[in-house]
Structure 1
Amino acid sequence: MQSEAVRLDPDRLGALYRQLGEANAEDVVCRAVEELAVRMTHCERLWRQEEWSQLRKSARSLIAIAEQVGMPLLSRVAKDVTQSIDGGDRVATAATLARLMRVGERSVTAVWDLQDLSI
């Protein structure tokens, strides 16, 4: 079983909290995390259905959300997924999508752990 070490971008999260205030920023982060989980599940389903253009679109949507809430590794891996789809490499797409799922899970957990610390 592979494990991915993730790191949240504290500068990005700090800026978000300063811009929006604590309550609004927490709301944005919670919604973003929920949306990430939904879209990652959607990516997995699209992979199984071999819906390449929709998979690419869904992976691309993860990039902006991950960047918004300070998940640079998740954003980078989502970019890798889109590049492997663009290259028509199904093996690379399978590998990068599996990594996307691992990094996504760990990133979501890291956000929840961070929020638990602030309570």
Structure 2
Amino acid sequence: MDADRLGALVGQLGDRNAEEVVCRAIEELAVRLSNCDRMWRRQDWVGLRKSARSLVAIAEQIGMSALARVANDVTGAVDSGDHVAASATLFRLIRVGERSLAAVWDQQDLSI
């Protein structure tokens, strides 16, 4: 996570509100990652694009730049119509997402 981005959130919202935003965002990221996988299994490329695009915004909000970057790559692959690349990039997104979420949850103290 980008410490500068988290610092900006704290500056804007205060400690308690920033922590609530981060917690909600983490929960939403987990849901959206699951949605991406489900859309891929259904070969719902429009739905996959929408879910990946929403991941970009949420991840950027809390400073998860690697996750945002890979979600953006998924969006680009879907936009290009390259389903093989979209599939491969999606699996990378899931790996990065799971590692990112695990790292946050392992901290147990989300002190910002």
User: Normalising TM by the smaller chain, what interval?
Assistant: over 0.9
Query: 40-49 vs 103-112, which deviates more?
Result: 103-112
User: Quick check: 2:19–2:111 contact (8 Å CA) kept in 1?
Assistant: no
Q: What corresponds to 2:100 in structure 1?
A: 107
Kindly report which structure 2 residues correspond to 1:46-65, keeping only aligned pairs within 5 A, or say none. 46-65=39-58
72, 76, 82: which one aligns with 1:79: 72
Residue 115 of structure 1 deviates from its aligned partner by 5.0
- Once residues 21 and 114 of structure 1 are traced to their aligned partners in structure 2, the CA distance between those partners, rounded to angstroms, is 20
Residue 31 of structure 1 deviates from its aligned partner by 0.2
- Once residues 109 and 11 of structure 1 are traced to their aligned partners in structure 2, the CA distance between those partners, rounded to angstroms, is 21
Instruction: Give the superposed CA RMSD.
Output: 1.6
What number of residue pairs does the alignment pair up? 112
Residue 22 of structure 1 deviates from its aligned partner by 1.0
Q: What corresponds to 1:22 in structure 2?
A: 15
Flag the 1:117–1:48 CA change in 2: closer, same or farther, 3 A. closer
TM-score when normalising by structure 1? 0.88
TM-score when normalising by structure 2? 0.93
Q: What corresponds to 1:4 in structure 2?
A: none
Bigger relative contact order, structure 1 or 2, given CA contacts below 8 A and separation 6+? 1
- Once residues 27 and 94 of structure 2 are traced to their aligned partners in structure 1, the CA distance between those partners, rounded to angstroms, is 14
Residue-by-residue CA offset, 1:7-37 (whole Å, 9 max, x unaligned): x110001111121111111100000000000
Flag the 1:113–1:44 CA change in 2: closer, same or farther, 3 A. same
Flag the 1:111–1:90 CA change in 2: closer, same or farther, 3 A. same
Unmatched 5+ stretches in structure 2? none
- Once residues 63 and 117 of structure 1 are traced to their aligned partners in structure 2, the CA distance between those partners, rounded to angstroms, is 21
